[in-house]
Amino acid sequence: MTATRKAYRAALLHSLADPAEVGIEASYEYVEDGLLVIDQGHIQAMGAASDLLPTLDADIEVVHYPDALITPGFIDTHIHFPQTGMIGSYGEQLLDWLNTYTFPCERQFADKGHADQVADIFLAELLRNGTTTALVFGSVHPESVNALFEQAERLDLRLIAGKVMMDRNAPDYLTDTAETGYRDSQALIQRWHGKGRLQYAVTPRFAPTSTPEQLAAAGRLLKENPGVYLHTHLSENLKEIDWVKELFPERSGYLDVYDHFELLGERSVFAHGVHLCDAECERLAETGSAVAFCPTSNLFLGSGLFNLPQAERFKVNVGLGTDVGAGTSFSLLNTLNEAYKVMQLQGARLHPFKSLYLATLGGARALRLDDRIGSLRPGNEADFVVLDYKATPLLDYRLQQSRSIEETLFVLTTLGDDRTVRETYAAGRCVHKRA
């Protein structure tokens, strides 16, 4: 789509691997004065400016950012597009929060005009925050997904989304049936999956709001459409977990409900997983399933503290999610700030390079997209962000004291937010420029 041939000179930083697997030093690459060369929406070269500048054709424009860091675009592995307008809703934990705020808010998405308007706000917000790929919940209405994909297609974003399937334990105005949920999802898959950079996720809301018939239909959709994703919630809240036990007494636990309906796999992403036992972690890893760690949401709804060391021990794929609207920020920098505190409360540490990994390459791996996004590797799609070292007076002053890229990165994740993102690029095209 884009035929821009351009080079960007700045400090470059990206993850090469999970620090839990290769150690900190081997997990990243940093080039203090680097050059990123883009051609046809892809990364053609990345390396030291002194090496690459002499190799460039004379007609290639070089954009220089002396006080900035280029990283891969951020990857949000769990977010709700129809909850944009209810972010920051007071006072409830998960099940009451759904009934009080979420369902009435999502009801409005039956109206395509409303969905169009919110899709515009939602995508602008992702890009302002440097998020170039997201795995997105729609509402139960196919219109919500059409609205989102139509606008994402225009921006040539790599985006995954799906309509919610929900046929019980929710208001009548917001339910489908096992049959219509299947049919509507199938039609959306035909229309959108694999179109440009868009992909589809079969999206049962969570076990309590789907009948066994609907979960079986979700399993059929996965079988009949290889390559589509499965996106749902898992073990977020203790009352929710008790409810799942009541609704599915014949299953050994929450994950086993999904397992029974053959919903686990390499393209399955389960949001939260705050209260998992070791056997569940083992099963997630064995099936190649991923968990989305959503710290701001888990704190906001009082759900609990995600046990990242446990997930690492069992080699579960973990991505980072904002989970807006239970999550309180679209910014993955801000989300990492909260993730660090979640780890501190458990007597553990979140190393800055693990943070970088979670927000970029780890997310790409969770989504099985690490062969095309998540790092600045030549050949990858050119989704990247320019982070401004001078975004605020405090950030500027604090970074003047920094003695290493590790320290700089930690400060960026502690103080950073949408103001830190100077520009966002998707497929080599500038899709956000901070005012």
Q: Which residues here bind ligand GUN, judged by CB under 6 A? A: 80, 94, 98, 102, 205-206, 233, 236, 297, 323, 326
Nearer to ligand GUN, 94 or 320 (CB): 94
In angstroms, what is the minimal distance from the CB of 221 to ligand GUN? 19
Site of interaction with Zn ion (CB under 5 A): 271, 323
The dihedral over CA atoms of 317, 12, 334, 106, expressed in degrees to the nearest 10, equals: -70
Please state, in angstroms and rounded to a whole number, the distance separating the CA atoms of residues 350 and 340. 5
81 DSSP assignment:
G
Nearer to ligand GUN, 43 or 140 (CB): 140
Nearer to ligand GUN, 195 or 239 (CB): 239
In angstroms, what is the minimal distance from the CB of 98 to ligand GUN? 6
From the list ligand GUN, Zn ion, none, partner contacted by residue 156 (C-beta under 5 to 8 A by kind): none
99 DSSP assignment:
I
Strand pairing report for 229-234 and 268-272: parallel
Burial string for 242-275 (b: 16+ CB within 10 Å, else e) reads ebbeebbeebebbbbbbbbbbbbeebbbbbbbbb
**Conformational region of residue 347, where left means phi above 0, alpha means psi within -120 to 50, and beta covers everything else:** left
In angstroms, what is the minimal distance from the CB of 47 to Zn ion? 39
Strands of the 28-39 sheet, one edge to the other: 42-48, 28-39, 5-15, 61-72, 384-388, 421-426, 429-433
From the list ligand GUN, Zn ion, none, partner contacted by residue 176 (C-beta under 5 to 8 A by kind): none
In angstroms, what is the minimal distance from the CB of 400 to ligand GUN? 39
Token pair listed for 189: 């898959």
Nearer to Zn ion, 201 or 356 (CB): 201
Residues facing residue 47 across a β-bridge: 35
From the list Zn ion, ligand GUN, none, partner contacted by residue 205 (C-beta under 5 to 8 A by kind): ligand GUN
From the list Zn ion, ligand GUN, none, partner contacted by residue 399 (C-beta under 5 to 8 A by kind): none
**Conformational region of residue 373, where left means phi above 0, alpha means psi within -120 to 50, and beta covers everything else:** beta
Give the CA distances from residue 115 to residues 33, 145, 150, 375, 407, in Å, rounded to whole numbers and listed in that order.
43, 8, 11, 32, 41
From the list Zn ion, ligand GUN, none, partner contacted by residue 206 (C-beta under 5 to 8 A by kind): ligand GUN
In angstroms, what is the minimal distance from the CB of 328 to ligand GUN? 12
From the list ligand GUN, Zn ion, none, partner contacted by residue 102 (C-beta under 5 to 8 A by kind): ligand GUN
Give every CB contact of residue 283 below 8 A, 6+ residues apart in sequence.
Answer: 255, 259, 264
Nearer to ligand GUN, 114 or 233 (CB): 233
In angstroms, what is the minimal distance from the CB of 156 to Zn ion? 26
Nearer to Zn ion, 318 or 411 (CB): 318
In angstroms, what is the minimal distance from the CB of 166 to ligand GUN? 9
Percent composition of the chain: helix, strand, coil (DSSP 3-state, to 5) = 45, 25, 30
Nearer to ligand GUN, 61 or 96 (CB): 96
From the list Zn ion, ligand GUN, none, partner contacted by residue 14 (C-beta under 5 to 8 A by kind): none
